[in-house]
Structure 1
Amino acid sequence: MNFVNTKRRMPRLIVAALPAALALALSPAAFAQQAGTPAGGERCADASAGDPSCKAGDAQQLDTVEVRGVRGSIASAITLKQNSLQITDSIVAEDIGKLPDNSVAAALQRVTGVQVARGAGEVGTVLVRGLPDVVTTINGRNVFTTTGRSMALADIPADLLQRVDVYKTSGADNIEGGIGGLIDVRLRRPFDFDDDWTLAGSARAIYSRNSGEADPNGSLTANRIWNTDAGKFGVMASVSYQSQRYQESNTFDGIYTLKDNPLGTGDQIYIPDTIGSIYTLGDRDRRSANLTFQWAPNENTELYFENFYVGYRNDNQVNFWIPLPTLVNSGNVVSLTTKPGTNVAQSITARDLFTLTSNQAYANSSDTYQSAIGGSWQGERIKLSTDLAYTYSKADNRNFILDTAFIAPLMTMSFDNGGASNAVVTNYDGSAFDVNDSSKYWLHQYYDGWSRQVGKDWSWKGDANIRVDAGPLTFIDVGFRASRREAENVAADTGGRTNISGTTVFVDDFDGLASLTPSNFLNGNRNTSTNQWMVADRGYLLANAAAIRAAMGYDPADPAANPTLYFNDKEDTYAAYLQGRYSLHIGDMPLDGAIGLRAVKLDSKLAGTQVVDGVQSPVNIDKSNDQFLPSFSANLGIRDDLLLRLSYGKSITRPSFANLNPQLTLFQPTATVAANGSGGNPDLDPVKSENIDLSLEWYFQPSSLLSLAAFHRSIDGYIQTYASDETIDGVTYSVSRPRNTGHGTLKGVEVAYTQFYDFLPGWLSGFGTQLNATFIDAATQSPTGEMQDLVNVSKRAYNAVLIYQKGAFSSRLAYNWRSKYALSYTASGDQPQSIYVAPVDSLDFAMSYDLDSSMTISVEATNLLDTVTRNYFGNQSLFPRDVGVMERTFSVGLRFRF
């Protein structure tokens, strides 16, 4: 297929079809009004939000046998998907405090079309259909961390959730801001419980294999419901605590420089500037709480008051071992080998080589609070709802990095030992050299920094769902949302500061500064010679930074805030939408869907600092932006169990507040350096996407699904950072800043299959499987006009889950694989500038047993394959970069409910 031509035609065809579809939907003479829709009622625009087309709870009620546990979770998710007006996928908690995985981000990796990246002992980055640009909401309200546009899904506690909905298409009633979609986290509310009194909780111990530590995790939920003459009252309080001490390690090759062969042979050799090893260690905990009140004074009215808190703490460090092959020259080289048939160095042996170790010490914390009050009233043909919310989020981050140095008498460095680098240090006579001996080290340089971020948001929305039953037009949805958002960043960063005291400062000059790294590097999976080394102690660095500053000749006080890192941005957003839902028949086939438009106005005030040759001046910019986002969906019931969906819409992603920072730093030209500068870009436009989706879903038996989906995104204005000439006050500068680039496309196909094998005899009838695959082709225009694959997007991703549930026993074995993907295109050096991550997989296991109707024990394990991760510069065989081993965890737990 000629995709270029198809790309140009498809949006036009859809746009051309919209008037015809609208006329079709609104013409009572053309088709009979639909008498019924899937799952026994009107399809739900948002069942959980109280859409009048869905009676309370309908979206989770199965019209088949009652099921529990992992099977009940999957069955409920399938029913939600079938009843949704949009193309969605959901994850439903198996029980109070039990999502299928231990975090929202980890659970989402099982969803068709979702790709994730792991690091620091957990699942971190989440992409929906290849895009990280998603809106995160809690109970339908936008939520974020400090100056970010969204909240890290790993920060949202799985213990408190009812379910997670992934919206892959957008309706007019969805909050704008994510070209990748929307992820809505649904917390439990008091009226979700049937009993007057409910007490539920969990306790778990997680053992991290690499760190060798076990950590407690737990949650507790208490719910009380009263039925009184004044109506129904409910109050629910939930708390959760999650902690983990983690450890990961990897080798690295730095950028390669094409240099004259130090052996003096006249040829040039690619030699990495640095190589070495890294330990990443941390002690991370998340604490959260949810306090919710509900009151239904009558059967038509409901009021609520919700309060949610999540806190994050991470005391972590990164320990580096850094040999410097770039310092090898004709005066200290002993030997050099190249990879056969190439001019890429394989190994070098050198004398008297300056070598570094480093500890990057961090103390990071954040606290996010959200309170909301609202309610709804259900009339005979109309439902009115409103919600007022306030969000406050703050973060304090501290870092101190100290590089320590020694001279290696004789060092042999290998740059590709099965993809991993290695360095062996000996004395001149070949005897062992002790890299753990702190007396050999001195202080070389330090980096010092801190930051404080604050985010605030007031938001209000009002919605009306009106049943009209005017021919095929069944509902009109109308609503308005207003928000005032503020994001502020204050930070300091000294950059590297070498010793200017005039004397050598030794590590042993400070009592307690020296420490040793762990010794189980790569868990023994690779033949590395330096598995442990001396580094500065993390606790000492953060507690005694003043002493180190003074000893190296600097002011002992904490560094002052850097004005170029400061920004204060304020945004006022006003959004209104109008959406019509229709329901009709084409012959015997029911057709329903929605046609809508969302109009958004954004007024911004951006404040930062401009620095020209050291002279500071404030910068204040006001800007405004209007967007009109149409949407269309059609859902055709080919048979009772076969559903065809078509969706079209436009969506946007707003630039990050950091990218919008109006700060600008300029340097006048000199005799040797051209005029240059760097800054943010307050003129950035939102990234725009035109979206087409098609999905065929076969619900061939209860709790089972076979689906095929295709999607196309036409993206304009993707944001990349690069340098371009700008004329300012008559001087032309080469200014590096984030900029909107050209056109890009993303297209793909998803296949999903879920089934439980009830037809098998006896105990075999407890088996089930979930299989899905995603194929994506995504590219965007680079600053030079070339087409490049989108970063972080794998072309292929697979999930395979084997499930068993019979009686009191259930288990799940889940495998995940994704193909290679681009990490960056901006590496410096003479090797290829692209960095790719090699294919990566993971295998996780979970098992539980119901001791009785109120207590369940569980055992879980992650990373059973002990996955080795790799990335490389352009060509894996020539220019390897990193080889690492991820954390593996085992846990045992108890859940209860009374």
Structure 2
Amino acid sequence: MTASAKRAHVVRLLCGTAATLLFAGPALAADLAGAPVALGESATANDPQTGEDVVVKGRRQAIVNAQDEQLRSQSLATVVSGEELRVQPQQNLADLLTRLPGVSSSVDQSRNAAATGEAQYVSIRGLDTSYNAYSFDGVRLAQTDARTRAISMNLLSPFSLQTVRVDKAPTARYDGDAIAGIIDMVPITAFDLPNNRTQIRFQGQVAGRAAARDQNPWGGTVQVETARRIGDLGIYASAYYGRKHVLGESTAMQHDWEKYNNNVPGMIRDNMDNLFARGVQWQAFRNKIERFGGTLNFDWKGEGTDLYWHSTYGQYNLKSWMDQTALRQTSLAPYQTNPNPNKGSYDAAGFRADYGLTATDYFRTEHSKQALVTTKIGGQTRSGDFTFDYHGAYSRGSQDYPMRIQSGFAGAPYIGTADNTGTAAYRMVTSIGNRTAPQVVLTDAARAYLTDPSKMKQWYITQQFENTWESRLEGQFDTTWHHADQGLVSVSAGAKVEDAKRYANALGDDGALQYTFPNADGTNSPRYAATGPALSSLPGKMLGGFMHGAAQVPIYLIDTNYIENQVAQLSTPKMAGLDPVKLKENRLDGREARLSGYVMTTLQFGELQVVPGLRYEYNRFKGTYWQDQGNDTGKFVTTSRHYDQWLPSIVANYRPNDAMVIRASVRKSYSRPAFDLLLGPTRVSRNDLGEVTGVFIPNPNLDAQTSWNYDASLEIKGQGTDFFSVSPFYKKLNHVLFATGTTNAGGDYNIWGNPQSDQQGGVEVSRLTTNATGKIYGVEFFGRYSLRGLPGLLDGLGLQANVTLQKAQANVFVNGQNREQRMTQAPEVMYNAALFYNRGGLSAEWNYNYTGDRLYDLRSSRPDTYIQPTTISNLIVNYSLPSGVTVGMSVQNLFNEHSYWATTGDRKAYLSNDRKGGYVETGRIYMLNLSYAF
């Protein structure tokens, strides 16, 4: 048994033990029905693990408070305290929230994001990330991703958060476009902390993979917060800055898989044993990540009125440099001859025969800047039996790719003849015996020719720009009439108005700014006759090592300053002579408005609470964009669309005592297609050679996706921080749209859409439809239990685990066929297990997260893409002193697992091409932590 297999065996044993607690929890807590535990501060009074240290005690109390909020909630929700999140080594909310039952994360590797070691998006209960609603302090966040309603969590950190609430069955009071649920980040106020409290946090980081490769491994974070109360006025302020360097490494197939035996009938996807690999590529990703932001909250607590002004700002800057080498098949030079019939890709017997094995080098940057600001002004007024809540809010988000550099290096193809001319004699064959490190079969002569960087000459250099922003205004007014404690308890009603403006534009993907190095006669140079400088002559250095030693061609890390200066000299000047029409072809100006209102009552019959409600929402979209009219002409056109939805719901909560609640709910919800899926220009995607790989056409006739949701839960609170729950769920969906959360505007679009989608000239053309139906069902288990009564130093141990089992399927029509298809981003199994220790001032936790395989995209004639299971384990140890100082250390990705693994089809044998992500590792991150509260 290998070391990794042993680790996996140990982990599964722990998870099995934790899962046993999940099922045993109700039995262990059965005595609660006769002896309820009071909620709130007293819940920890008899906890034998509660030490004398104020900081550790406060952390436990934060967990208890979050559990109490979850129990008191009118709807089924999972609540996690910000204090619990901040103790984890990650600072990205997408990674942190995977600790919750039913929550998984995903990433868009088409923009190199998986190579940062951080997730971007959050999925709830087997639904795509775009099915969530996202809010900060109850304010809907501005959307900046090009073609999804998912919010990239890169911008959001656990700093300044009181709790994160994942409402999986919201009442009619909340927005109805939340089939999966609502993720609300609740900020801290001065009234949530001790008066005149200040805390400073420091963290130092070392990226293990970067250090091993002699790259910059250093990083760190500093955060300061303070809370002050002056009479009825509370002021909370917080600011943070973080920087880290990460080196990611990946392997991917060079092209899509093709048929090996062309005599086998049917589509490529019909016979997965008849696939042929077409080369391999190896990537090194140098990443520099900066995060900074702040929060300023004012709260005034009056006798009959409370007022507040809450503002927060976050910015995420990524500099990502990718250096790629590859062994690939390219077109032959004029002095080289393809021996296949008609110079095609198959030999006379009908078997794949690729000639033209070429070593290439490709450099790309994916620098991005994201910013998000939200501000909310409002209050609550209480008068007699009436309560009035009101607010106005503004949110603005932007995402900018200021300069995406691309440059290619290549030499003449190797064909196996003495002088490398004439009829090709060397077929390219790729061995996939090692599924994460495939190899191209090379003779000694081929290896000597293809691994010489002096033969790789620069062919072209280009740049691209892209930016998107959205600004949102909203206003809301709610009133509640409190009537009695039993029977008709209250009636609530409210209205909300939202208005959003959106802008998006991109330039350069069609090669408008490309500089191609010329031949001696001044004509543009083809790849095989590249005349630019040799790769070996550029400033830079070789990468010192590579994942699994798999790179067959040395990876040369080009000096980034050199190539940025080269862009400024060769590509940027082409802007001056650019046709002004080019600046408009990808522009979209849009506007989205929504009006909504609801009425809801609360009924109480003894221990049974029933909350029926009805919500109405009206949405209108309008967009103006450049439409190609053919013959190099075009014009701006404006199109619009509107939706309206009636959304009934009913929630029942039965509380036999203060420590138990049984819930059931039925509600209707919907999800609006993303703005850019409905309206906008046709988009063309290209690979690093400039070849068109896909075409996407927006569809203004898309329907809103709707779902009837059925949820239930049993939640039991035990002593101290003990808690157990089980939550089954079922969703019936109509007008299903398969779309993945992505910021990709220049690669493969990862979308399906038939009957309009097909292969035209080898290019996948996609136009979305919403004709599919679907269903999702599953169950979540959660358990947290402290092992009391253990001898000596063992007293303080505890276990926490959650398991989600789910199925998410849709009946879709693709390529002339109906398929019963898994839904995207929907793992069938997810679990988290943690072993924690709290004794005196010492706290420690080892946690392990597993996310099962997921469908990434649904394709027409080719095999679908899947994301293989991912795991991550973290270790955290902290010690808190009575003085308010806490010191500690943590390790992220303890077992050095991969961060991403995409395959063609669901088998692990067929690694995906690079536009789908391939296999990515980022290594461990080591951290030292220090905080001081006073």
Same fold per TM (> 0.5)?
yes
1:569 aligns with 2:565: no
**Could you tell me which residue of structure 2 aligns to residue 146 of structure 1?**
144
1:105 aligns with 2:104: no
CA distance in 1, matches of 2:462, 2:236: 47
Residues 89, 927 of structure 2: 8 Å contact kept: no
Residues 144 and 61 of structure 1: CA distance in aligned 2, closer, same or farther (over 3 Å)? farther
CA distance in 2, matches of 1:65, 1:782: 56
Local SS of the residue matching 2:484: strand
CA distance in 2, matches of 1:878, 1:891: 35
Residue by residue over 1:662-689, the C-alpha shift from the partner in whole angstroms, topping out at 9 and shown as x without a partner, is 43589xxxxxxxxx98521222222211
Give 1:810 shift.
Answer: 0.3
CA distance in 2, matches of 1:647, 1:603: 29
Residues 98, 158 of structure 1: 8 Å contact kept: no
Give 1:745 shift.
Answer: 0.7
Pairs within 5 Å for 1:410-559 = 414-423=430-439, 429=445, 432=448, 435=451, 437=453, 439-469=454-484, 471-496=486-511, 501-502=522-523, 504=525, 506-508=531-533, 513-516=538-541, 518-522=543-547, 526-530=548-552, 532-534=554-556, 536-549=558-571
Residues 619, 663 of structure 1: 8 Å contact kept: no
Pairs within 5 Å for 1:1-80 = 62=43, 64-65=45-46, 68=57, 70-80=59-69
1:582 aligns with 2:597: no
Give 1:766 shift.
Answer: 0.7
Residue by residue over 1:308-348, the C-alpha shift from the partner in whole angstroms, topping out at 9 and shown as x without a partner, is 11111111122221211466999699xxxxxxxxx999xx9
**Could you tell me which residue of structure 2 aligns to residue 815 of structure 1?**
848
CA distance in 1, matches of 2:909, 2:316: 41
Pairs within 5 Å for 1:696-735 = 696-720=714-738, 721-722=751-752
Residue by residue over 1:89-115, the C-alpha shift from the partner in whole angstroms, topping out at 9 and shown as x without a partner, is 111133896568533222211101111
Residues 811, 846 of structure 1: 8 Å contact kept: yes
Residues 547, 556 of structure 1: 8 Å contact kept: no
In structure 2, stretches of 5+ residues that fail to align are 1-34, 51-56, 108-113, 212-216, 263-272, 341-349, 417-425, 685-693, 739-750, 757-763, 913-917
**Could you tell me which residue of structure 2 aligns to residue 217 of structure 1?**
221
Comparing 78-87 and 638-647, the one that deviates more: 638-647
Residues 460 and 208 of structure 1: CA distance in aligned 2, closer, same or farther (over 3 Å)? same
Residues 323, 555 of structure 2: 8 Å contact kept: no
**Could you tell me which residue of structure 1 aligns to residue 870 of structure 2?**
840
CA distance in 1, matches of 2:485, 2:661: 25
Give 1:576 shift.
Answer: 0.8
Pairs within 5 Å for 1:707-786 = 707-720=725-738, 721-722=751-752, 736-784=766-814, 785-786=818-819
CA distance in 1, matches of 2:575, 2:280: 30
Residues 448, 495 of structure 1: 8 Å contact kept: no
**Could you tell me which residue of structure 2 aligns to residue 257 of structure 1?**
258
Q: How many residues align?
A: 796
Structure with more contact order per residue of length (Cα contacts < 8 Å, sep ≥ 6): 2
**Could you tell me which residue of structure 1 aligns to residue 155 of structure 2?**
155
Match of residue 82, structure 2, among 90, 93, 101: 93
**Could you tell me which residue of structure 1 aligns to residue 746 of structure 2?**
none
**Could you tell me which residue of structure 1 aligns to residue 241 of structure 2?**
241
1:178 aligns with 2:195: no
Residues 451, 553 of structure 2: 8 Å contact kept: no
CA distance in 2, matches of 1:653, 1:583: 32
Residues 290, 318 of structure 2: 8 Å contact kept: yes
Residues 572 and 871 of structure 1: CA distance in aligned 2, closer, same or farther (over 3 Å)? closer
Residue by residue over 1:228-278, the C-alpha shift from the partner in whole angstroms, topping out at 9 and shown as x without a partner, is xxxx122222101122211211211231222579xxxxxx97432332112
Local SS of the residue matching 1:683: coil
1:788 aligns with 2:821: yes
Comparing 709-718 and 144-153, the one that deviates more: 144-153
Residues 502, 590 of structure 2: 8 Å contact kept: yes
Residues 570 and 601 of structure 1: CA distance in aligned 2, closer, same or farther (over 3 Å)? same
Residues 89, 874 of structure 2: 8 Å contact kept: no
The one-letter code of the counterpart of 1:782 is: V
Give 1:795 shift.
Answer: 0.7
Residues 70 and 416 of structure 1: CA distance in aligned 2, closer, same or farther (over 3 Å)? farther
CA distance in 2, matches of 1:95, 1:270: 47
Comparing 700-709 and 175-184, the one that deviates more: 700-709
Residue by residue over 1:354-381, the C-alpha shift from the partner in whole angstroms, topping out at 9 and shown as x without a partner, is 2221011122112222222111122342
**Could you tell me which residue of structure 1 aligns to residue 132 of structure 2?**
134
CA distance in 1, matches of 2:392, 2:351: 62
In structure 1, stretches of 5+ residues that fail to align are 1-36, 41-57, 262-267, 334-342, 667-675, 727-733
Residues 260, 351 of structure 2: 8 Å contact kept: no
Give 1:210 shift.
Answer: 1.5
Match of residue 293, structure 1, among 291, 294, 298: 298
**Could you tell me which residue of structure 2 aligns to residue 406 of structure 1?**
411
Comparing 304-313 and 95-104, the one that deviates more: 95-104
CA distance in 1, matches of 2:432, 2:765: 37
Residue by residue over 1:63-120, the C-alpha shift from the partner in whole angstroms, topping out at 9 and shown as x without a partner, is 7458525533432332222111111111113389656853322221110111123622
Residue by residue over 1:837-863, the C-alpha shift from the partner in whole angstroms, topping out at 9 and shown as x without a partner, is 222211111110012241101211111
Give 1:535 shift.
Answer: 5.8
Residues 379 and 887 of structure 1: CA distance in aligned 2, closer, same or farther (over 3 Å)? farther
Please identify which structure carries the higher strand content: 1
Match of residue 707, structure 2, among 689, 697, 707: 689
**Could you tell me which residue of structure 2 aligns to residue 15 of structure 1?**
none
Residue by residue over 1:422-481, the C-alpha shift from the partner in whole angstroms, topping out at 9 and shown as x without a partner, is 5579896578568473x4222234453211212111111111222111851212121111
CA distance in 2, matches of 1:494, 1:866: 36
Residues 200, 932 of structure 2: 8 Å contact kept: yes
Taking structure 1 as the reference length, what is the TM-score of the superposition? 0.82
Give 1:887 shift.
Answer: 3.2
Local SS of the residue matching 1:80: helix
The one-letter code of the counterpart of 1:805 is: N
Residues 104 and 65 of structure 1: CA distance in aligned 2, closer, same or farther (over 3 Å)? farther
Residues 562 and 661 of structure 1: CA distance in aligned 2, closer, same or farther (over 3 Å)? farther
Comparing 363-372 and 709-718, the one that deviates more: 363-372
Comparing 564-573 and 141-150, the one that deviates more: 141-150
Residues 170, 651 of structure 1: 8 Å contact kept: no
1:645 aligns with 2:663: yes
Match of residue 592, structure 1, among 609, 618, 641: 609
**Could you tell me which residue of structure 2 aligns to residue 199 of structure 1?**
198
**Could you tell me which residue of structure 2 aligns to residue 50 of structure 1?**
none
* Aligned-pair Cα RMSD in Å: 3.5
Local SS of the residue matching 1:783: strand
Percent of aligned positions that are identical? 20
CA distance in 2, matches of 1:344, 1:110: 49
Residues 323, 423 of structure 1: 8 Å contact kept: no
Local SS of the residue matching 2:71: helix
Residues 699, 767 of structure 2: 8 Å contact kept: yes
Give 1:556 shift.
Answer: 7.4
Residues 448 and 124 of structure 1: CA distance in aligned 2, closer, same or farther (over 3 Å)? same
1:865 aligns with 2:883: no
1:123 aligns with 2:119: yes
CA distance in 1, matches of 2:45, 2:903: 51
**Could you tell me which residue of structure 1 aligns to residue 111 of structure 2?**
none
**Could you tell me which residue of structure 2 aligns to residue 4 of structure 1?**
none
Local SS of the residue matching 1:466: strand
**Could you tell me which residue of structure 2 aligns to residue 897 of structure 1?**
933
CA distance in 2, matches of 1:736, 1:469: 57
CA distance in 1, matches of 2:507, 2:580: 6
Residue by residue over 1:466-510, the C-alpha shift from the partner in whole angstroms, topping out at 9 and shown as x without a partner, is 211185121212111111111110111333556565265544389
Give 1:875 shift.
Answer: 5.7
The one-letter code of the counterpart of 1:387 is: H
Comparing 629-638 and 323-332, the one that deviates more: 323-332
Taking structure 2 as the reference length, what is the TM-score of the superposition? 0.79
Local SS of the residue matching 2:159: helix
Residue by residue over 1:862-891, the C-alpha shift from the partner in whole angstroms, topping out at 9 and shown as x without a partner, is 111111353322263653333332332110
Local SS of the residue matching 1:782: strand
CA distance in 1, matches of 2:312, 2:848: 33
Give 1:130 shift.
Answer: 1.4
